Amino acid sequence: MDIINNFFAELSNFLWGNFGVANLVIGGGVFFLIYSKLTPFRYFKHAFEILLGKHDDPDDEGQISHFQALSTALSSTVGIGNIAGVAVAISLGGPGALFWMWISAIVGMATKFFTCSLGIMYRGYDSDNVLQGGPMYVIEQGMGKNFKFLSYWFSIAGLVGCLSLLQANQLTQIMSDYVVKSFDIEQSFNLNLIIGIIIAILVSSVIFGGLSRIAEVASKIVPFMVMVYLLSGLFIVLSNASSIPTIFSNIFTSAFNGSSVAGGFAGTAIVISQGFRRAAFSNEAGMGTEVMAIGASKNNQPIKSGLVAMIGPLIDTIIVCTITGLVILLSSEWIEGTYSGVSLTQKSFSNYLGLAGDYILIFSVATFTLSTMFGYSYYGCKCASYLFGANSKFYYRIFYVLTLVLGSVLSLDLAVNIVDAMFALMAFPTMISALYLAPNIKKEANKYFASIKEN
């Protein structure tokens, strides 16, 4: 396992560093911000109106509503990245990593506006003649046959990147910790394996129903789970309001000066890297997954979907990740380095809420990770369908469920490194196509925003 872990760790570091994927995602997002002249940011009210169905057209093509599409996208982005991902970022990069997660979210909003608008502008039909959206169709329909290798590139990376190895790993960890603590038994490989099998059975009961069932479940549990988690975190933050100014000062200071964290791991470059990597896993801007979800919405107007997609990073990174980060920083556990990942977040919550904090985190992790598993299974199926035909979806779901059991017994480091590497590979074709086709979206956006003003 050490050999495999080292391979993916080196691959991840190469892709995000030497290969320049981080620069592509960040630089591309900054380009989208400037190129759009921040125009989409002026229409957040309109975006929420679209989300709630005010501007729907029943004759539009697609499979699910805007609300269901965003819920499906959020079911994968509002997940373990908001709980364990923030903890990993702060553990490795210090408080300043949270600042760079905010910057990444703002940049990510602009990126999602362009990528998800393209997801509607350039949709294609699968082998069952069902209209589909995603980077693979954007590349094929928008860039032409000469670039189709990028469609295959994205889809192959997505087959692995959309496996919920990290989600299964962290859900198993928190459930295993609870069982060991409650029943005074020893942690063991067999315990994790049993939990992994139970997780696989629960996920199977939803994902074999296809997109409609996933969207239906996601649209019901996502708003509820976010509210429970946010209210709990807000209670802790408001109860320690006097400490918040100092924490924010620490965040801004260490964002630019680097931060010595547990084990002496320091440096501004590391802080920025951790902030952007974990934010990328949190809001997935530029990774292409959101394009597959939003691309299924009932809508023939690309800009509508781009505006709705912008709401995602606002919710999952600026709001949810900030609450998680503040709760962790209010505790001293991140400095001591005894806990990592989801265990660090759980310990931080329980320090202030006691046993209730444990139960809230268990509930949040369970609902967050399960909803992410539902969404990721849909993304993986779309990649498999593009590569092997629509009939392959059933077999991919079987493969997907089996890997949940595998994820439950993997090490956290290996799960994180696999996800980081595959997301980097998915980001490359997604961002290349978005940058190449950006002028088409700008032209369409100018027409759309002009029509709004006229009305």
Residue ranges making up the domain that contains 132:
2-454
Total domains in the fold of the chain = 1
131: β partners: 125
Residue pLDDT, tens place only, 75-91: 556 666 677 778 877 87
Centre a 10 Å sphere on the Cβ of residue 183 and count the other Cβ atoms it contains: 7
DSSP 257-300: H----GGG---HHHHHHHHHHHHHHHH-TTTSHHHHHHTTBS-S
Phi, psi of 241 (to 5 degrees): -55, -35
- Which one of 190-194, 210-214, 267-271, 399-403 scores highest in mean pLDDT? 399-403
Element (H, E) at 132: strand 131-132
- Residue 413's SS3 state is helix
- Closest-CA residue to 282 (of 73, 115, 91): 73
Q: Tell me the mean pLDDT in the region 268-280.
A: 60
Q: Would you give the end-to-end CA distance of the chain in angstroms?
A: 61
Cβ-proximal residues to 104 (8 Å cutoff; 6+ apart), any chain: 26, 29, 275, 276, 279, 280, 283, 285, 317
Residue pLDDT, tens place only, 102-112: 888 888 889 98
What pLDDT sits at residue 266?
Answer: 43
Cα(348)–Cα(342) distance, integer angstroms: 10
What pLDDT sits at residue 217?
Answer: 65
What pLDDT sits at residue 263?
Answer: 38
CATH number, domain containing residue 429: 1.20.1740.10
pLDDT surpassing 80 at residue 145: yes
Strands (E), 9-126: 124-125
